[in-house]
Amino acid sequence: MPSFVEQAEPGSVFSLLADENRVGILRALWQTEDPLSFSELHSAVDIKDSGQFNYHLDKLAGQFVQKTAGGYSLTEPGRQINGAIDGGTYTAAGSMEPIQLDPPCPTCGGQRTLTYEDERLRVECDSCDVVAAFGVPPAVFAGRAREEIPAVAGRYLRAELARLENGFCPYCGGHIECRVGLPSPPPGESLSGVDESFPIVRYDCQQCITEPTSGLTLALFSHPAVVAFYHDHGIDIRERSVWEFPVFAGESERIESEEPLRASTTFTVNGDELTLTVDEHLSVVAGE
């Protein structure tokens, strides 16, 4: 098993970035494909004093910047920091006017509204308690027309689900373990307008505390049997909006048995049905 060793205190690493001159050095290295020599890098940043420049470069060296025979370049963490800056996660304030979603809520038939605030996207229904909420960096929506937003948000959600299905945490990249079970609303709370015996899929990160959830239908969206079922009907499921499918608690999502756990969901195209039954690990154990 590969070992994973904490090499530095997170606080001391992030404090290295608490200086505009150093961020300027990282940004300059991000703009170029080839490594830069000391003097090339110095002339690419806005620090006149070469002693000052040297001091700041030295602080970044080893952690965010590396020096090779060809010159200075970014380390992988240095690239990640630049990506986060360009994505706007830490620096941009993303928000937009609420958007009404076209397809009705697949749980109750109500009207749903998409909102985006504080880098979180929410799709809420006006007549039941089903909510989809997930983090989206502002860059995802940069340059997009308002009418494109629901489709872009849906594709981003699908990409995040694919990442989880492949076993990677969207926050830390750690290993995800998947469990199917019943929803567990906080004690004293209930989901109004929703039958609470629907199956829920929990993606439990083994590295950090993240535990995203999805409904069974979305969790099986890219299962080969589902892709083939749609393909046989002349439909490329990748072109269907996820908002046509239930986020949670779709009418067709059922717990079949609790011991052992069996849950199923049904996909319908032109009157034909595909029902997949899964076990607690989301492995498909039956399809018809």
List contacts with Zn ion (CB under 5 A): 105, 107-108, 110, 125, 128, 169, 171-172, 174, 205, 207-208, 210
* Nearest approach, Cβ of residue 32 and Zn ion (Å): 32
Task: Give CA–CA dist 225/273, Å, rounded.
Answer: 12
Judging by beta carbons within 10 Å of its beta carbon (0-12, 13-18, 19+), is residue 207 exposed, middle or buried?
middle
* Nearest approach, Cβ of residue 101 and Zn ion (Å): 11
Distances in Å between the alpha carbon of 120 and those of 96, 99, 106?
11, 14, 22
* Nearest approach, Cβ of residue 163 and Zn ion (Å): 11
- Closer CB to Zn ion, residue 70 or residue 83? 83
- Closer CB to Zn ion, residue 149 or residue 205? 205
Task: Give CA–CA dist 204/117, Å, rounded.
Answer: 25
* Nearest approach, Cβ of residue 152 and Zn ion (Å): 22
- Closer CB to Zn ion, residue 157 or residue 249? 249
- Closer CB to Zn ion, residue 26 or residue 123? 123
- Closer CB to Zn ion, residue 205 or residue 274? 205
Task: Give CA–CA dist 199/188, Å, rounded.
Answer: 20
Least Cα distance to 123 among 146, 147, 154 occurs for 154
53 contacts 38 by C-beta, under 8 angstroms: no
Tell me the residue type at 76.
E
* Nearest approach, Cβ of residue 24 and Zn ion (Å): 31
